[in-house]
Amino acid sequence: MRENGPVTTPTEAPPAAVPRLIATDLDGTLLRDDKTLSARTIAALVAAERAGVHVLFVTGRPPRWMDAVASHLPAHGTAICANGAAVVDLGAGGRLIKVHPLGRAEALDVVHRVRAVAPGTTFAVEFTTGFHYEPLYPPFHQDPWATVAPVEKLLDEETPGSGAPVLKLLARHTDIAPDTFLALAREAAGDRVAFTRSSPSALLEAGGAGVSKARTLAEYCAERGVGPEEVVAFGDMPNDVEMLNWAGTSYAMANAHPAAVSAASGRTLTNEEDGVAVVLERLLAAAR
């Protein structure tokens, strides 16, 4: 759950020079609560790109859930999805450029470990080819083609390596507080996978060991000769923490989770108040 008191103006002065890259989360950060982009935010993104700033969407969303920003893509059309598990060319119909998969054996081991400490947990699996879930997992009406079966069956494959890569494992519990559930899971299986969360409910996301938004963002930047000091990042939830720590300058939204606030070097307004746009406007104005 996103918390903390109001912020009326961004804290911390922007860096002296315009950054080379903006890395921004989507839900709770760039997108409004109705999952749309405001006209002000769209204008700020366009202005940043015109000023030569590389704008990169870095999200927990899978590639198939990028329609909300598809019509407002930066010129390069690239996004980091699934908490760093996939780099996607959205301008080419969602073509996967790079995948950091979660091994099926590791995923199954995590299922057993989490069930042992949190009975009643239900699971879902996000593959590169789509989303599938257990019978007691809340149905995803936007995924009517999903297979509904025990997670053991979902993770099974006839021949090792023959199935689609796993982007992330999702674990849901109805009776445990979100942060408590995250702590339990990390204690039980944090040596096997990277656990995080981006939902206000007790819904955890597990990717391959070491996989995070920060790791894939760092790879992406290194390939382009961009250092962390040249990056400004925005986020609001625990799955943004590593990225906010890595970037030379970072902002947590005013209503961000405490972990995100602690990781960021500054704070901006809420997503409903165009917090990302406010900072981008200041950065560009300072460079004029």
Classify residue 15: in a domain, yes or no: no
Model confidence over 79-106: pLDDT tens digits? 999 999 999 998 877 889 999 999 999 9
Out of 6-15, 35-44, 152-161, 270-279, least confident range: 6-15
| DSSP three-state, residue 150 | coil
Could you give the percent of the chain with pLDDT greater than 70? Answer: 92
Residues 127 and 158 in one domain: yes
Strand pairing report for 203-208 and 166-172: antiparallel
Tokens of 114: 């989490």
Classify residue 61: in a domain, yes or no: yes
d(CA 41, CA 46) in angstroms, rounded, equals: 9
Going by pLDDT thresholds of 50, 70 and 90, the confidence category of residue 140 is confident
Closest-CA residue to 107 (of 170, 159, 32, 44): 170
Does the global pTM surpass 0.85?
yes
Q: How many other CB atoms sit within 10 Å of the CB of residue 81? A: 28
pLDDT at 5 over 70: no
14: left (phi over 0), alpha (psi -120 to 50) or beta: beta
Classify residue 119: in a domain, yes or no: yes
Mean pLDDT over 165-186 rounds to 98
**138 vs 240: which has the higher pLDDT:** 240
Strand partners, 170: 124, 205
End position of a domain, from candidates 208, 227, 242:
208
**9 vs 137: which has the higher pLDDT:** 137
Tokens of 69: 């920003």
Residues 49 and 144 in one domain: no
Instruction: Provide the domain count of the chain.
Output: 2
pLDDT at 3: 44
End position of a domain, from candidates 167, 185, 208:
208
Residues 244 and 161 in one domain: no
Mean per-residue pLDDT of the chain: 92
CATH code assigned at 167: 3.30.1240.10
pLDDT at 161 over 90: no
pLDDT at 2: 41
Mean pLDDT over 166-176 rounds to 98
Strands (DSSP E) found in the chain: 21-24, 54-58, 78-81, 86-89, 95-99, 122-127, 130-133, 166-172, 193-196, 203-208, 231-235, 249-252, 266-267
Residues 111 and 197 in one domain: yes
Range of the domain at 64: 21-100+212-286
Model confidence over 63-81: pLDDT tens digits? 888 877 877 766 678 999 9
Classify residue 5: in a domain, yes or no: no
Contacts of 259 (CB under 8 A, 6+ apart): 237, 238, 241
Model confidence over 207-265: pLDDT tens digits? 999 999 999 999 999 999 999 999 999 999 999 999 999 999 999 999 999 999 999 99
Residues 96 and 116 in one domain: no
Please answer whether residues 104 and 166 qualify as being in contact, where contact means their C-beta atoms are separated by less than 8 angstroms.
yes
Crossing angle of helices 39-50/275-286, nearest 10°? 30
Residues 118 and 204 in one domain: yes
End position of a domain, from candidates 183, 208, 233:
208
Q: Name residue 54's amino acid.
A: H
Classify residue 13: in a domain, yes or no: no
CATH code assigned at 65: 3.40.50.1000
Residues 188 and 248 in one domain: no
pLDDT at 122 over 60: yes
Residues 188 and 218 in one domain: no
